[in-house]
Amino acid sequence: MSSTKKVCVFFVIMFFICGSFASTLAQYYPLSQNTLTSYVNYSGAGYIWPSGSNLFYYGETVTVKAYTYSGYVFDGWYLNGVYQGKLSTISLTMTEDYTLYAVFSQKTSSLVINCNPSDGGTTIPSSGIWNYTGGSVTVTQIPAQGNTFNGWYLDGIYQGLGTSITVNMNQDHQLTAFFSGSGTINPSPTPTPVPTPIPQPNLPTPTLSFYCASSPSTAGFYVKLNGALAYNGTGISGTGVTFSYSATGGATWHDLAYVITGDDGNFSAVWMPSASGNYVIRGTWFSDGVYSGVTNTMNFSVAPNSQNDMFSVSSNSTLSSLSFDSATSRLSFSVSGETGTTGYVQACIPKTLLADTSKLQVSLDGQEIPYHTFTQGETWIITIEYTHSTHSVVMALGSSATPTPTQTPTSNPTSNPTTNPTSNPTSNPTATSTPDPTTTITSSPTPTETTQTPNPTTNFFGYLNENPLLIGAIVGIIATALFVIPVVYTVKRKKK
C-alpha cells in the first residue's frame, strides 16, 4: 500500500475514534452549565414551574411562573435571598448558580358591606371594608325607624330577607343590604377620604386599568368592574386594590370594593349603586417597595329610560346630559376634556334594545365615526375614541345608515386612558327602583392555566450541548489534523 493510501486510512480511523470519544464526553459532561434550584415555602399554597434543581446552559434565559391555590396568595420571589417583587413570572439569565424561593401565604379576603340607600338602615358589622383570613362572618341588618328591609345581595345575587346572613370568607365579597320606607332617616356618617398613593420616583410604575360593565335593567341594577394590575404586561399577583366612588365630584368618597389580584394580576368586583346620575370611580394601589403606587380614575354616568332599561357610560372625559329618547331610539350625551389629549367612551346598551349591532350608528358632532363592540352578558359595550375638546355624542340604535363597526364579540375592553377626568360630574344621583330578587349575575369563566417547559436559548454553548455529534466531528477533525500533518511532513522528507 502506498504512503498516500496509508495516510488516508489513518485519517479516517482517527476521525471516527476521536469523534466518538468526544461525542461521549459531550453527552455525559456538557459544557458550561449552571444550576437553578427553585422552592416554594408552603407546598399546600401553590407551585412553580420549573421546580426543584435543574441544569441550564450558560447564558440561557429561564422563565419561572408561580401558580396559586384557592385561598392563598403569592407574596413574591426571593433570588439568592434578595426580594424580586410580586410579578407572577420571573426571568433569569443563567450566568451563575441561583436559588429561587416562591413565597405564598394564606389569603386575606375582604368583605365590603354597603347599605342601599346609605341612610335606610345599618348593619352589624357596619358598612365598610372588613378583612378576614378564612372562616365565615355573620352580618345582621337593622332598618332605620319607619323603614323596611328589602333583602341581601351578595356579589349582586339575591340572598333573601333574613335578619342576618352568613358569608363564607374564602374569597372577596361585596354585600349590600337594601332598605325602603319613608320614616325618620338617620344621617349618614361622613365618609373617610381615600388617600392617594405618592409615586416613588426611583421605582417603576405599574399600570392599573379597569372598565365597567352594567346590567341592562333597573331591577337589581349592578355594575361589574373588571381590570388588571400589571407591569410591562406581566400581572402583579396577590396584592390589594382599593376602589371607592364619589357622587359629589370628589368632595367625599365611599368604599366600593377591596379586591386581591389573581395570578395574572386580574381582578373583578361588583358594585350596586343606589342611584342614577354621575359618579367618579377611583382605583388605588399602594407601593410595595418594588413598584411605585398608582391610581386611576374614571367618570361614570348611568340613566334609565321609561321602560326601566338602564344605560351607562364610562369615560376619562367629563360626562353630562346622558339621556335616551325612546321615540327615536337615540342615546345622547356630551363629553369634554383637555384640548389635544385623547378621550374614550365605553357605553353599555341593553341587547333588548339593540339585538343587532350592524344597525348601530355612532356620530361625534354630527359626523359618523367608527366604533368597537364587545358582548358582556345581556349588554353590548360600545367603545369609541376621539381627540378631546367639547363634543356631542349620539348613538342611534335603529339607524339604517351603513355602520362602521369593528366587532370583537368574545373579548373584553381594556381601559388605558391617557388622561384623568378633567372635571367633576355636574349632577347628583337620583334614586332608582327597588331591586328584583330574581336578578342574578353570571360570572365570567376563569381561564385555565397551562404550563410550558422553557425552550433552551440558542447560544453557542447550548447549541453544542444539544448537538454532541457536532462536537465529535470538530474534535475529530482537529485531532486528525494534528496527527496527519506530522506524518505527511515525515513522508515528504523521506522521499527527498
What does the mean pLDDT of the chain come to? 79
At residue 128 the predicted structure's pLDDT band, cuts being 50, 70 and 90, is confident
pLDDT for the residue numbered 336: 94
Residue 484 backbone class (left: φ over 0; alpha: ψ -120 to 50; beta: rest): alpha
Measure the CA–CA gap between 120 and 184, rounded to whole angstroms.
Answer: 9
Compare 3 and 184 and report the one with higher pLDDT.
3
Asked if pLDDT for residue 399 goes beyond 60, the answer is no
Compare 256 and 60 and report the one with higher pLDDT.
60
pLDDT for the residue numbered 385: 95
Lowest mean pLDDT among 309-313, 328-332, 423-427: 423-427
User: For 78-91, how does the pLDDT look when each residue is reduced to its tens digit (9 = 90+)?
Assistant: 999 999 988 889 99
* Average pLDDT of the residues in 183-210: 61
Rounded to an integer, what is the distance from CA 334 to the centroid of its chain?
A: 30
Lowest mean pLDDT among 271-275, 390-394, 428-432: 428-432
Compare 435 and 385 and report the one with higher pLDDT.
385
Asked if pLDDT for residue 188 goes beyond 60, the answer is no
Q: What is the 3-state secondary structure (H, E, C) of 158-208?
A: EEECCCEEEEECCCCEEEEEEEEECCCCCCCCCCCCCCCCCCCCCCCCCEE
Measure the CA–CA gap between 21 and 66, rounded to whole angstroms.
Answer: 42
pLDDT for the residue numbered 467: 57
Asked if pLDDT for residue 402 goes beyond 90, the answer is no
Q: Judge whether 230 and 207 are in contact, CB under 8 Å.
A: yes
Asked if pLDDT for residue 472 goes beyond 80, the answer is no
At residue 218 the predicted structure's pLDDT band, cuts being 50, 70 and 90, is confident
Lowest mean pLDDT among 5-14, 118-127, 337-346: 5-14
Asked if pLDDT for residue 44 goes beyond 60, the answer is yes
Residue % of the chain over a pLDDT of 70: 70
* Average pLDDT of the residues in 61-86: 90
Measure the CA–CA gap between 172 and 242, rounded to whole angstroms.
Answer: 12
pLDDT for the residue numbered 438: 37
pLDDT for the residue numbered 8: 59
Asked if pLDDT for residue 234 goes beyond 50, the answer is yes
pLDDT for the residue numbered 383: 96
Q: What is the 3-state secondary structure (H, E, C) of 46-102?
A: EEEECCEEEEEECCCEEEEEEEECCCEEEEEEEECCEECCCECEEEEECCCCEEEEE
Q: Give the list of residues 6+ apart from residue 60 with CB closer than 8 angstroms, or none.
A: 93, 94, 456, 457, 459, 462
For the chain, report the end-to-end CA distance as a whole number of angstroms.
19
Between helices 3-28 and 468-495, what is the axis angle to 10°? 150
Asked if pLDDT for residue 264 goes beyond 50, the answer is yes
Asked if pLDDT for residue 181 goes beyond 50, the answer is yes
pLDDT for the residue numbered 129: 85
Backbone angles phi, psi at 294, to 5 degrees: -145, 150
Measure the CA–CA gap between 138 and 273, rounded to whole angstroms.
Answer: 23
Measure the CA–CA gap between 96 and 79, rounded to whole angstroms.
Answer: 12
pLDDT for the residue numbered 482: 66
Lowest mean pLDDT among 160-174, 220-234, 412-426: 412-426
pLDDT for the residue numbered 79: 94
pLDDT for the residue numbered 389: 92
- DSSP of 371-404, one letter per residue? EEEEEETTEEEEEEEEESSEEEEEEETT--SPP-
Beta pairing class for 318-325 and 275-285: unpaired
Taking the CA atoms of residue 186, residue 187, residue 193 and residue 194 in that order, the dihedral angle to the nearest 10 degrees is 30
Asked if pLDDT for residue 112 goes beyond 50, the answer is yes
C-alpha cell, 41: 415555602
